[in-house]
Protein backbone atom coordinates (compact mmCIF):
# COMPACT_ATOMS: atom_id res chain seq x y z
CA UNK A 1 0.00 0.00 0.00
CA UNK A 2 1.69 3.19 -1.20
CA UNK A 3 -1.18 5.53 -0.53
CA UNK A 4 -1.73 8.38 1.83
CA UNK A 5 -5.44 8.86 2.44
CA UNK A 6 -7.14 11.98 3.72
CA UNK A 7 -10.66 12.55 4.96
CA UNK A 8 -12.84 14.39 4.34
CA UNK A 9 -12.25 15.46 0.75
CA UNK A 10 -14.19 18.67 1.27
CA UNK A 11 -15.10 20.53 4.45
CA UNK A 12 -17.14 23.68 4.95
CA UNK A 13 -17.16 25.16 8.43
CA UNK A 14 -18.16 28.30 10.24
CA UNK A 15 -15.72 30.34 12.27
CA UNK A 16 -17.09 28.99 15.55
CA UNK A 17 -17.03 25.33 14.56
CA UNK A 18 -14.60 22.64 15.67
CA UNK A 19 -13.63 20.08 13.08
CA UNK A 20 -10.80 17.65 12.40
CA UNK A 21 -8.89 16.52 9.35
CA UNK A 22 -7.59 12.98 9.23
CA UNK A 23 -4.62 11.47 7.42
CA UNK A 24 -3.56 7.83 7.30
CA UNK A 25 -0.70 5.87 5.78
CA UNK A 26 0.35 2.23 5.98
CA UNK A 27 3.79 2.45 4.40
CA UNK A 28 5.63 2.23 7.69
CA UNK A 29 6.74 5.84 7.42
CA UNK A 30 7.71 7.46 10.70
CA UNK A 31 7.58 11.08 9.52
CA UNK A 32 4.29 12.79 8.73
CA UNK A 33 3.58 16.32 7.60
CA UNK A 34 0.80 18.86 7.29
CA UNK A 35 0.91 21.45 4.53
CA UNK A 36 -1.39 24.31 3.64
CA UNK A 37 -1.73 25.27 -0.01
CA UNK A 38 -3.45 28.36 -1.32
CA UNK A 39 -4.48 28.62 -4.97
CA UNK A 40 -1.61 29.00 -7.43
CA UNK A 41 0.97 28.72 -4.63
CA UNK A 42 3.34 25.94 -3.53
CA UNK A 43 2.53 23.96 -0.39
CA UNK A 44 3.55 25.67 2.85
CA UNK A 45 4.80 23.42 5.61
CA UNK A 46 2.81 23.64 8.85
CA UNK A 47 3.91 20.74 11.06
CA UNK A 48 6.29 17.79 11.01
CA UNK A 49 5.95 14.72 13.22
CA UNK A 50 8.90 12.37 13.55
CA UNK A 51 8.40 9.13 15.46
CA UNK A 52 5.02 10.43 16.62
CA UNK A 53 6.56 13.51 18.22
CA UNK A 54 6.14 17.04 16.97
CA UNK A 55 9.50 18.11 15.57
CA UNK A 56 8.64 21.19 13.53
CA UNK A 57 5.92 23.81 14.02
CA UNK A 58 6.28 26.54 11.43
CA UNK A 59 4.81 29.21 13.71
CA UNK A 60 1.29 28.05 12.96
CA UNK A 61 -1.55 29.80 14.86
CA UNK A 62 -2.92 27.84 17.80
CA UNK A 63 -6.31 27.50 16.13
CA UNK A 64 -4.61 24.63 14.28
CA UNK A 65 -3.77 21.76 16.60
CA UNK A 66 -2.00 18.66 15.25
CA UNK A 67 -2.09 15.24 16.79
CA UNK A 68 -0.29 12.02 15.96
CA UNK A 69 -2.01 9.20 17.90
CA UNK A 70 0.11 6.47 16.31
CA UNK A 71 2.63 5.92 13.55
CA UNK A 72 -0.06 5.55 10.86
CA UNK A 73 -2.40 8.36 11.75
CA UNK A 74 -2.16 12.14 11.76
CA UNK A 75 -4.95 14.53 12.68
CA UNK A 76 -5.35 18.26 12.40
CA UNK A 77 -7.87 19.77 14.78
CA UNK A 78 -9.44 23.03 13.71
CA UNK A 79 -11.10 25.58 15.97
CA UNK A 80 -12.15 29.20 15.51
CA UNK A 81 -10.74 29.41 12.02
CA UNK A 82 -10.78 32.52 9.88
CA UNK A 83 -11.92 32.82 6.25
CA UNK A 84 -8.28 33.28 5.20
CA UNK A 85 -7.62 29.76 6.45
CA UNK A 86 -9.61 28.43 3.50
CA UNK A 87 -7.16 26.34 1.47
CA UNK A 88 -6.20 22.85 0.38
CA UNK A 89 -4.68 20.97 3.32
CA UNK A 90 -2.23 18.30 2.31
CA UNK A 91 -0.82 15.49 4.37
CA UNK A 92 2.42 13.71 3.48
CA UNK A 93 4.56 10.96 4.90
CA UNK A 94 8.14 9.80 4.45
CA UNK A 95 10.88 7.64 5.82
CA UNK A 96 13.07 9.37 8.37
CA UNK A 97 16.53 9.58 6.83
CA UNK A 98 18.66 11.98 8.75
CA UNK A 99 22.12 12.54 7.35
CA UNK A 100 25.07 14.02 9.13
CA UNK A 101 24.50 17.74 9.48
CA UNK A 102 20.75 17.33 9.81
CA UNK A 103 19.62 17.39 6.23
CA UNK A 104 17.39 14.64 5.05
CA UNK A 105 16.51 13.35 1.65
CA UNK A 106 12.94 12.67 2.61
CA UNK A 107 11.00 11.70 -0.46
CA UNK A 108 7.50 12.58 0.61
CA UNK A 109 4.29 10.85 -0.43
CA UNK A 110 1.29 13.16 -0.53
CA UNK A 111 -2.37 12.54 0.02
CA UNK A 112 -5.07 14.04 -2.22
CA UNK A 113 -5.82 16.81 0.25
CA UNK A 114 -8.84 18.24 2.03
CA UNK A 115 -10.41 21.32 0.48
CA UNK A 116 -11.39 23.51 3.45
CA UNK A 117 -13.76 26.45 3.19
CA UNK A 118 -14.28 28.69 6.22
CA UNK A 119 -17.37 30.85 6.10
CA UNK B 1 19.24 28.41 3.66
CA UNK B 2 18.01 26.36 0.78
CA UNK B 3 15.91 27.93 -1.94
CA UNK B 4 14.46 26.93 -5.28
CA UNK B 5 13.65 29.18 -8.21
CA UNK B 6 11.32 28.27 -11.04
CA UNK B 7 11.58 31.26 -13.36
CA UNK B 8 8.61 30.41 -15.57
CA UNK B 9 5.20 30.97 -13.99
CA UNK B 10 3.46 29.27 -16.90
CA UNK B 11 4.45 27.64 -20.18
CA UNK B 12 2.32 26.68 -23.16
CA UNK B 13 3.43 23.77 -25.33
CA UNK B 14 1.77 22.18 -28.32
CA UNK B 15 0.78 18.56 -27.94
CA UNK B 16 3.59 16.37 -29.28
CA UNK B 17 6.23 19.06 -28.82
CA UNK B 18 9.13 18.78 -26.43
CA UNK B 19 9.13 20.36 -23.00
CA UNK B 20 11.73 21.79 -20.65
CA UNK B 21 10.85 23.27 -17.27
CA UNK B 22 13.58 25.17 -15.51
CA UNK B 23 14.63 24.84 -11.89
CA UNK B 24 17.54 26.50 -10.10
CA UNK B 25 18.47 25.74 -6.52
CA UNK B 26 20.59 27.28 -3.84
CA UNK B 27 22.17 24.83 -1.41
CA UNK B 28 25.58 24.66 0.23
CA UNK B 29 26.10 20.92 0.11
CA UNK B 30 25.09 18.14 -2.24
CA UNK B 31 21.42 18.77 -2.92
CA UNK B 32 18.66 16.20 -2.94
CA UNK B 33 16.25 17.32 -5.63
CA UNK B 34 12.73 16.40 -6.62
CA UNK B 35 10.13 17.19 -9.23
CA UNK B 36 6.47 16.85 -8.27
CA UNK B 37 3.36 17.27 -10.41
CA UNK B 38 -0.04 18.42 -9.20
CA UNK B 39 -3.28 18.22 -11.16
CA UNK B 40 -5.99 20.72 -10.19
CA UNK B 41 -7.40 20.06 -6.72
CA UNK B 42 -5.18 17.04 -6.23
CA UNK B 43 -2.19 16.11 -4.12
CA UNK B 44 1.38 16.08 -5.35
CA UNK B 45 2.84 13.12 -7.22
CA UNK B 46 6.57 12.50 -7.35
CA UNK B 47 7.89 12.44 -10.92
CA UNK B 48 11.55 11.84 -10.18
CA UNK B 49 14.34 12.48 -7.73
CA UNK B 50 18.08 13.03 -7.68
CA UNK B 51 20.17 11.92 -4.72
CA UNK B 52 23.57 11.11 -6.25
CA UNK B 53 25.21 9.25 -9.10
CA UNK B 54 24.12 9.61 -12.71
CA UNK B 55 23.16 13.21 -13.33
CA UNK B 56 20.42 12.26 -15.81
CA UNK B 57 17.52 10.73 -13.95
CA UNK B 58 14.50 9.03 -15.41
CA UNK B 59 11.07 9.37 -13.91
CA UNK B 60 7.53 8.30 -14.45
CA UNK B 61 5.31 9.30 -17.39
CA UNK B 62 8.31 9.69 -19.71
CA UNK B 63 9.90 12.58 -17.80
CA UNK B 64 13.61 13.01 -17.18
CA UNK B 65 15.73 15.64 -15.44
CA UNK B 66 19.37 16.56 -15.58
CA UNK B 67 21.35 17.74 -12.58
CA UNK B 68 24.00 20.31 -13.47
CA UNK B 69 26.03 21.32 -10.45
CA UNK B 70 27.95 24.02 -12.35
CA UNK B 71 24.67 25.76 -13.20
CA UNK B 72 22.82 24.87 -9.96
CA UNK B 73 20.05 23.56 -12.15
CA UNK B 74 17.74 20.57 -12.27
CA UNK B 75 15.62 21.05 -15.38
CA UNK B 76 12.74 18.73 -16.22
CA UNK B 77 12.30 17.48 -19.78
CA UNK B 78 9.91 15.42 -21.83
CA UNK B 79 10.42 14.70 -25.54
CA UNK B 80 6.73 14.66 -26.50
CA UNK B 81 4.03 16.26 -24.38
CA UNK B 82 0.56 14.76 -24.06
CA UNK B 83 -2.59 16.74 -23.25
CA UNK B 84 -2.78 14.88 -19.92
CA UNK B 85 0.54 16.48 -18.86
CA UNK B 86 -1.21 19.82 -18.31
CA UNK B 87 -0.72 20.47 -14.59
CA UNK B 88 1.35 22.41 -12.06
CA UNK B 89 4.96 21.31 -11.68
CA UNK B 90 7.00 21.92 -8.54
CA UNK B 91 10.72 21.56 -8.12
CA UNK B 92 11.93 20.98 -4.54
CA UNK B 93 15.13 20.56 -2.59
CA UNK B 94 15.41 18.62 0.67
CA UNK B 95 16.27 20.64 3.73
CA UNK B 96 16.36 19.77 7.40
CA UNK B 97 13.36 17.48 7.83
CA UNK B 98 11.45 19.31 5.13
CA UNK B 99 11.15 20.08 1.47
CA UNK B 100 11.70 23.56 0.09
CA UNK B 101 9.48 24.09 -2.93
CA UNK B 102 9.79 26.43 -5.85
CA UNK B 103 6.82 28.59 -6.78
CA UNK B 104 5.72 26.18 -9.48
CA UNK B 105 5.27 26.28 -13.26
CA UNK B 106 1.85 25.78 -14.78
CA UNK B 107 2.01 23.78 -18.00
CA UNK B 108 -0.68 24.39 -20.58
CA UNK B 109 -0.92 22.02 -23.55
CA UNK B 110 -2.46 23.31 -26.77
CA UNK B 111 -3.95 21.00 -29.39
Chain B residues with CB-CB distance to A113 below 8 A? 41-43
Residues B90 and B92: their CA atoms lie apart, in Å, by 6
**What does the pLDDT look like over A9-68, one tens digit per residue?**
999 999 888 999 999 999 999 999 999 999 989 999 999 998 999 988 999 999 999 999
Chain A residues with CB-CB distance to B49 below 8 A? 105, 107
Domains assigned to chain B = 3-110 (2.60.40.10)
Q: What are phi and psi of A15, to 5 degrees?
A: -70, -15
* Interchain CB distance below 8 Å, B46 and A103: no
Task: From first to last of the 111 residues of chain B, give the pLDDT tens digit.
Answer: 788 999 999 999 999 999 999 999 998 777 889 999 999 888 899 999 998 888 999 999 999 999 999 999 999 999 999 999 999 999 999 877 788 899 999 999 999
**CA nearest A89: which of A70, A63, A68, A116?**
A116
Amino acid sequence: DTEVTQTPKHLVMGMTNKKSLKCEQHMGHRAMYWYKQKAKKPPELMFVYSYEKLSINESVPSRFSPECPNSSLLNLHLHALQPEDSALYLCASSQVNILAGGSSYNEQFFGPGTRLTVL
Amino acid sequence: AQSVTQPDIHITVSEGASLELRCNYSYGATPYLFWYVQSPGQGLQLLLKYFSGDTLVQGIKGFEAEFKRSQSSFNLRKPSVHWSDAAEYFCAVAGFQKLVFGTGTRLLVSP
